[in-house]
Amino acid sequence: MPLVDPGRRAHYADFYDGPPGDAPLALVHGNCQAGSLRVLLDGSPTFPYRAVRMPPVHELTADDLPALYALLPRTALLVSQPVRDGYRDLPLGTAELAAGLPRGAQVLRWPVIRYAGLHPYTVIVRHPSDMSAVPPGVPYHDLRTLALAAGVGRAVPPGPAALRDAAAMSIDELGRRERTTTDVGVSDVLAGLGVEAAHTLNHPGNPVLVTLARRVQGAAGVPVDAADPGRVLLGGVRAPLEAPVLDALGLAASPRPHWLVDGHPVDDADVRTAQLAWYATHAAWVEAGLRRHAGRMALLGFEV
C-alpha cells in the first residue's frame, strides 16, 4: 500500500484498510455532499449496509485506487453523483466503479445539488488551466464582482420578479439534470424549504440532505428512516442573505450582510476587495465566469 498521510489514513481507516467483518458495503461517491449523505445513511438504525467513509472524489489520487478498487467486490450498493469516466485522468467515473461491482449490486445516481435561489449572484467558475483554483476570502465567485472586474455595467438592480425567475431557473436546471443523469432528486423540495434549503450555492441544508437520504433508501428498497443527525452537516461556510432576495421569495428570515466561515463573520466588502485583486492576475476566470453564467447575468440586469 502506498504511503498515505497518517491523519488521512486514520480518518478514512475503513477505506484504506477495509472494514472488519464481512458485512456488505455501501459506497457513497462524489463531492462534499457525498460525505453528508453517507453520515445520514450510516446513521440509520436499519440500513443493511456498512457505509464506508471515503475521501471525496476530487481528493482521490492514483495512490488511492488500490484501496478503492479493493472495496468494490464487497459493495452491494454504490450511491454516486454522476462522475465522468476518466475524471482527473483516473478511473473514478460512476460507470468505471460500477463495472467492478459484484453481480446483483445496485447503482443509484444522485445529483450534484446546486441551488442559487437564496444567493442569486453566487457562482462557481472553473478554468482548465487550474481546475482547483478558487478566489480568496471564500471559495465562490460573485457575479457583481466579476462584472466590476470586467467593466460590465448594470442599469438597475433586479426587481422581485427577476429574483424569483433566477430561483426558478436554478431549480429548473437541477431538475433537468436529475431527469437526464440521476435516479433520485430533490429539486422539487427546494422552494418550500426557505432559508433551510441552502447555506451556499452547493452546500444544501439538512432538510434537503435528509430528503435525499430518504429517497435513496426508498430507491434502494431498504427502510426509509434517515433522520436529522442533530448537527449542521454542511454549514461551515454560509453566504450572506440579502433583504431584496428574501422579500422577493416571500421569506420572513432576517437578512445577514456578511459571510460566516467556521462561525466567524467575514465582511462581504472585504471578500470583494480581495477577489478584485485576484482577478487582476487571473483574468481567465473573469472571462470564463461571464461566458458560463451569461444567462443569469442577463436575467439579473447586467449588460452582457
Alpha carbons 260 and 84: distance in angstroms, whole number? 33
Length in residues, the chain: 304
Specify the pLDDT at position 59: 94
First to last CA, the chain: 52
Chain Cα centroid distance, residue 139? 12
Nearest to 63 by CA among 123, 9, 138: 9
Residue range 258-296, pLDDT digits in tens: 999 999 999 999 999 999 999 999 999 999 999 999 999
Specify the pLDDT at position 304: 72
Q: φ, ψ for residue 27 (rounded to 5)? A: -110, 130
Consecutive H or E run containing 208:
helix 206-220
Tell me if 131 sits within 8 A of 288, measured CB to CB. no
Tell me if 133 sits within 8 A of 275, measured CB to CB. no
Give DSSP secondary structure letters for 132-197. T---SSSS-EEHHHHHHHHT--BSS---HHHHHHHHHHHHHHHHHHHHHH-S---GGGSGGGGGGS
Q: What percent of the chain has pLDDT over 90?
A: 92
What's the mean pLDDT in 18-26? 91
pTM of the entire predicted model = 0.94
Residue range 79-105, pLDDT digits in tens: 999 999 999 999 999 999 999 999 999
Residue range 232-245, pLDDT digits in tens: 999 999 999 999 99
Specify the pLDDT at position 40: 98
Nearest to 54 by CA among 97, 118, 104: 97
Residue range 197-251, pLDDT digits in tens: 999 999 999 999 999 999 999 999 999 999 999 999 999 999 999 999 999 999 9
Mean pLDDT rounded to a whole number for the chain: 95
Residue range 121-148, pLDDT digits in tens: 999 999 999 888 999 999 999 999 999 9
pLDDT for 1 beyond 70: no
Q: How many CB atoms sit inside 10 A of residue 283's CB?
A: 11
Tell me if 139 sits within 8 A of 237, measured CB to CB. yes
pLDDT for 69 beyond 70: yes
Tell me if 81 sits within 8 A of 33, measured CB to CB. yes
Q: Which fold has domain 6-109?
A: Rossmann fold (3.40.50)
Specify the pLDDT at position 134: 94
| Reported confidence tier of residue 153, pLDDT bands at 50, 70, 90 | confident
What's the mean pLDDT in 45-73? 96
Specify the pLDDT at position 248: 98
Q: Where exactly does CATH 3.40.50.12080 map onto the chain? A: 6-109
Specify the pLDDT at position 3: 65
